[in-house]
Amino acid sequence: MEKFFIVISALALLFPIYASAQTVEEAKEFLAEAESRLEIASHEYAHAAWIAATYITYDSQRVEATAYQRFLELSVEYANAAASFNDLDLDFTDRRKMELLKQFLVIPSPSDSEMAQELAEIGSEMSAMYGAGEYCRNEGITGEEICYTGDQIENLMRELRDPDELLEFWAGWRENSIPMKPLYERQVEIGNMGAQELGYDNLSTFWRAKYDMGPDAFAADADVQWAKVKPFYDALHCHVRAELSDYYGPEVVPPSGPIPAHVLGNQWAQDWSYLFDIVKPESSDLGYDLDQLVQKNTDGPEDIVRIAENFFISLGFDPLPETFWERSMFSEPEDHKAVCHASAWDLDDKDDLRIKMCIDPTAEEFRVVHHELGHNFYQRAYKEQPPLFRGSANDGFHEATGDTIALSVTPKYLVDIGWLEEEPPAEGDIGYLMSMALDKIAFLPWGLMIDKWRWQVFNGKVSPDEYNQAWWALREEYQGVASPIARSEDYFDPGAKYHIPGNTPYMRYFLAYIQQFQFHRALCAEAGYEGPLHRCSIYGSKAAGEKLNAMLEMGISRPWQDAMEAMTGQRELDASAIIDYFAPLKDWLDQQNQFRQCGW
């Protein structure tokens, strides 16, 4: 992920700096001041956040919280002040900066200070509820009470195969979100007021207006892209349901209709990767073991990172600065606690780039390192842009860029770097594509429906007494997934997913999962690759590197359609690249499903 995402639910509201803007000159002065002060505050926060993540103590957490509070308050101040320039005729660059200032906010507060404080308290309380959530049960001969956190439950549900236990943990976790419902309802009410003060109809319009196209046009395009992938998802769903029905029996997983949500290897049924052992093809041997290759050919975490850096150097990018190697965290510290979750950081918007990981010599970590460096090279590419333009072309581009690089970790790449003598035969490709589809394809309808639910809540199409019913209706419509037990409006099942109480928009992930394949297809074509798309690696292609950099260096200075065109030649999102990538698996699935009843 990026250094951090700006997720703001106005903890405080200062008096607007420019209460009644009049002239273009005032607007330019306002923007210059906003960029300067926000840049300083963001750097201060970045350094505090780095310390808090890599050296966990009471004091480091307090320092980070204080720095974030200052940055937050300043961001809220400028976002609200920018609304006073809504009716001024500004040039493209200044108007874009004004809109980006307003869009720092996720749940904007109204100008009423009491409501702003209430909004902040609601956000804090819901986050605390989620963070403190657990499920407790009596275990063992003594009946001792054992409590499980959300992360522990998520890990258990990946490995458990007892349907009764899966259901118990699934239902137990969702007890934690029940008290969130009235808080969420009030948050939506206040947030809509804040969005209206910024010039939007409601939060739904505000969220969908961040994509350089009309809010309704953006939503319609998301549906168009999903329609392209849905036939493939339907085929995958049909195969997985049939295999699960055979494994668990039809009384647990009926051979028709939606799949019960608790048996898909994931707390939210958003990633089916952990079902691979149940649904894999008979011939799924890749012909090599990447875990073994990583262990054999690398000498410690830094060596893995240098191999990944060399991937970018092979594309024509300059090596990372020496400070990257001096200041990054590659291993878990021995003498203090740190956050091991992988992340890429840009602490000064120039050259102080870093990654934070506790790197193990595994195939997964090898791919993740390539992904994280994708963020770093993106961050450095747009460093010459003005402060407000240093960012992802849209909120999906950063993640898509990292994933695009990870898609090039193929047998061809392993041959190019001397880890394999030759590419293995294609017999094992279906297994590889199945493992990828259980992650990438299975995620897409989930990635779309979360914000579809929120858009309908924000604009009033779904009322508070319909929250849960609407949630499960969308899950069944898009995912073909159903609750394994009855769920009334006494529950608030959306709150069982962090991004709902945490107010993190989710369309960025839907977009990233589409864009990465679109990027990969375009870069492979630029590299002159003519084989199956899933076997392509752009390693060593200066032509592909030039195309990639043409997009990266634009940052968010232009509409994302311009950035897309710079790299792919297309100005629109295009999910057809997913179909191209997974084409051999689709043929295999159609054969498997030939005599099955598909759909739900």
Dig out the tokens for 447 from the structure: 């990635």
Catalytic residue among 341, 364, 384, 546: 341
Dig out the tokens for 450 from the structure: 């979360």
The whole-angstrom separation of Cα 352 and Cα 347 is 5
Catalytic residue among 64, 309, 365, 399: 399
**DSSP result, 411-425:** HHHHHHTTS-SSPPP
Say which DSSP state 469 is in. Answer: H
Catalytic residue among 237, 239, 371, 520: 371
- E-only strand ranges, 323-466: 343-346, 353-356
Q: How far apart are the first and last CA of the chain?
A: 35
Q: Look up 47 and say whether it is catalytic.
A: no
Catalytic residue among 2, 64, 372, 526: 372
Find out whether 355 and 373 touch, Cβ atoms under 8 Å. yes
The whole-angstrom separation of Cα 386 and Cα 72 is 20
Catalytic residue among 99, 499, 550, 583: 499
Catalytic residue among 78, 130, 478, 509: 509
DSSP-derived pairing of the beta strands 259-260 and 481-482: parallel
Q: Look up 148 and say whether it is catalytic.
A: no
Catalytic residue among 262, 375, 398, 520: 375
Report CA torsion sign: 275, 281, 286, 287. positive
Measured CA distances, 524 to 420, 423, 516, 521 (Å): 21, 17, 12, 5
**DSSP result, 172-239:** HHTTTTTTHHHHHHHHHHHHHHHHHHTT-SSHHHHHHTTSSS-HHHHHHHHHHHHHHHHHHHHHHHHH
The whole-angstrom separation of Cα 445 and Cα 365 is 26
Q: Look up 399 and say whether it is catalytic.
A: yes
Find out whether 359 and 304 touch, Cβ atoms under 8 Å. yes
Measured CA distances, 323 to 44, 315, 353 (Å): 18, 22, 8
Q: Look up 341 and say whether it is catalytic.
A: yes
* 39-43-49-51 Cα dihedral, nearest 10 degrees: -170
CA angle 575, 434, 412 (to 5 degrees): 80
**Where does residue 320 rank: exposed (0-12), middle (13-18), buried (19+ CB within 10 A)?**
buried
341, amino acid identity: H
Q: Look up 336 and say whether it is catalytic.
A: no
Residues 6+ apart with CB under 8 A from 231: none
Q: Is 321 left (phi over 0), alpha (psi -120 to 50) or beta?
A: beta
Dig out the tokens for 55 from the structure: 């050296």
Helix (H, G, I), strand (E, B) or coil at 135: strand
Say which DSSP state 213 is in. Answer: S
How would you label 346-365 residue by residue, b for 16+ Cβ within 10 Å and e otherwise? bbebeebbbbbbbbbbeeeb
Q: Look up 371 and say whether it is catalytic.
A: yes
Q: What phi and psi, each to the nearest 5 degrees, are found at residue 448? A: -85, -40
Find out whether 596 and 250 touch, Cβ atoms under 8 Å. no
Active site residues: 341-342, 371-372, 375, 399, 499, 509
